[in-house]
Amino acid sequence: MTRTTVVTGGGTGIGKAVAARFAADGDRVVIIGRRADVLEEAAKEIGGTALAADLSEPTEVERVRADLAERFGTIDVLVNNAGGNVEMQDGSGGVAERWTGNFRANVLTSVLPTEALRDLLNPSGRIVFMSSIAAFRGSGGTSYGPMKAALHPYAADLAADLGPRGITVNVVAPGFIEDTEFFSGTLDDERRAMLVAQTATGRAGTPQDIAETVHWLASPGAGHVTAQIIQVNGGAERGR
């Protein structure tokens, strides 16, 4: 049975890999993000539909909801992948400005679409949030880790609320994942070697590692897995 899968932040990196994994199964895949040109290119590549929107803006989210409801009526899978550390891009500004920036980029972009689309989810639907190892270990003094951590109790409450409808809600927390915009241009050889050395597997993660985990969480085989935080970091959270 063909499902309708929505992936936010689906134009590059982890989001694109997740969208491609679902599309490979024949799902109708919608990728959402701010950059229309990047989304269109990714959609053509994976065989999906692009929908440009700033998911931190309530009016934009309502437009997305109306569009999806008109096109598909219901959805089956929502992957909240949109986010990023805005303090890595611009370290200027005061504390309130920096924390508000990461709140908008990582909390609102997950909460607003989830609340807008939850009533469109079919029975046995799936919601997956993208967190980070930084939610457990900190993020070097930035607000990125705390904002990702904010998604954890929200997901637990949502799982309890939606569980009677057969909908599961889980969180995936990646570690060091190469080939993503998150680390693009910010990682020298020394830091890369340090991050790999922290793992038990002796390698960096890939977007495909995360895509396979998300795909499993959305499968019938994970139907009794909910309110969980799945860490995908090669054991790095253990602090090797």
The span from the CA of 43 to the CA of 38, in Å, is 9
Distance of CA 187 to the CA centre of its chain: 22
Find the length of the chain: 240
Rounded Cα distance between 43 and 225, Å, is: 30
Measuring CA to CA, how many Å separate 164 from each of 44, 75, 178?
37, 17, 38
**Nearest to 81, CA basis, from 144, 24, 21, 132:** 132
Catalytic residue selected from 144, 151, 218, 231: 144
- The structure tokens listed for 35 are 């950059």
Active-site annotation holds for 144 = yes
Residue with tokens 């539909």: 49
Residues annotated as catalytic (active site), given as ranges:
144
